[in-house]
Copies of this chain bind each other. A is one copy, B any other.
Amino acid sequence: MSVLIVGSTALDSIKTPKAENPRLLGGSASHASVAASFFAPVKLVGIVGEDFPKPYLQLYRRHKVDLEGLQIVPGKTFHWSGEYEVNMNNRRTLATELGVFETFTPKLPESYQASSFVLLANIAPSLQYHVLNQMRRPKFVVADTMDLWLNIALPDLLKLLKRVDGFVLNDSEARQLTQEDNLVTALKKIHKLGPKYVIIKKGEHGATLSTRNGLFISPAYPLRRVVDPTGAGDSFVGGMMGYLSTARGTIDDNLRRAMIYGSVVASFCCEGFGLKSTTRVTRAAIETRFKELAKLTRF
């Protein structure tokens, strides 16, 4: 089955202590789509301007990402620029130019509306909601978010959460949302907002899943070198949803393995700027790291 993914489609200019890369293909939907593409066909919903480089469209196509839902309109593509500190964990935004995103209204092609697996990757919660409203009967809907929306669009996010199956956020966002320092307690509070499955991402420390059957502690793949962590979280949810959409059995049967696949794709993402490393990955390389993670955690 295919995965429908809505989110940002952007150009990222990324500075790290070691290098500077302007106008890379970026955005939550781009990272999530490429990540998911290793497991399943992807239907992308997004918007770019006429300045969007043709090679990036070809990149999507090479990954069999359906672009019927990608609007190409007059104006400039969303552009984010940011800078990482030496430890590669802290980053600051240098500039955000919304461009064509300012007036984006996602409109789902007919062929998208019956998708069973829906990933509402990071984007304004009102847009995530708008996409969800156009779906017929999705089987499994997951939303990702970021601190910005907690700050400026919390009511929209809370409205959305009542209608999603899964919700993914990072540890600091979970603490901000619940005003609770302890993550086990924070998870309980987030369930009360609606989602049956809650995943807290903790970067290099992995992720924690909470379901009615309890917790799952998911490791991160240990990397010797982090080149650029931009998009790692998006790759994680993308890989997870891609795997889930093709796995036989129930969500509960497969979600743990799906998270491990997500971690693996996220680890590749961190090894290059933008999508450079992720796009070079093969399914075989993913399987190798999956098996390695199994070995690394066995006791």
Listed in ascending order, the chain A residues whose CB lies under 8 Å from chain B are: 86-88, 181-185, 202, 204-206, 208, 214-219, 222-226, 256-257, 259-260, 294-299
Contacts and interface: CB of A to CB of B under 8 A. Distances in A.
A224 B184 contact: yes
A181 B18 CA distance: 14
Nearest to A217: B219
A182 B226 contact: yes
B257 A299 contact: yes
Contacts of A86: 181
B215 A296 contact: yes
A224 B210 CA distance: 13
A202 B182 CA distance: 16
Chain A binding surface, main DSSP class: mixed
Contacts of A204: 183
A216 B296 CA distance: 5
A217 B88 contact: no
Given A202-B205, A205-B205, A299 B224 contact: no
A131 to B, nearest CB: 30
Given A205-B202, A217-B297, A296-B214, A224 B182 contact: yes
B222 A215 contact: yes
A219 B217 CA distance: 7
A95 to B, nearest CB: 26
A222 B184 contact: yes
| Closest 9 pairs between A and B when the two form their complex, measured CB to CB | A256-B299, A205-B205, A217-B219, A184-B224, A87-B181, A217-B296, A184-B222, A217-B297, A257-B299
Contacts of A202: 205
A181 B215 contact: no
5 contacts: A214-B295, A215-B296, A216-B297, A218-B299, A259-B299
A16 to B, nearest CB: 12
A130 B296 CA distance: 36
A256 B217 contact: no
Contacts of A260: 299
Nearest to A86: B181
A224 B216 CA distance: 15
Nearest to A257: B299
Contact of A216 (B185, B208, B299): B299
A224 to B, nearest CB: 5
Contact of A225 (B182, B206, B222, B295): B182
A142 to B, nearest CB: 18
A222 B183 contact: yes
Nearest to A220: B217
Given A182-B226, A214-B296, 11 more contacts: A87-B181, A182-B225, A183-B222, A185-B224, A205-B205, A206-B217, A208-B222, A216-B297, A256-B298, A256-B299, A297-B297
A186 to B, nearest CB: 10
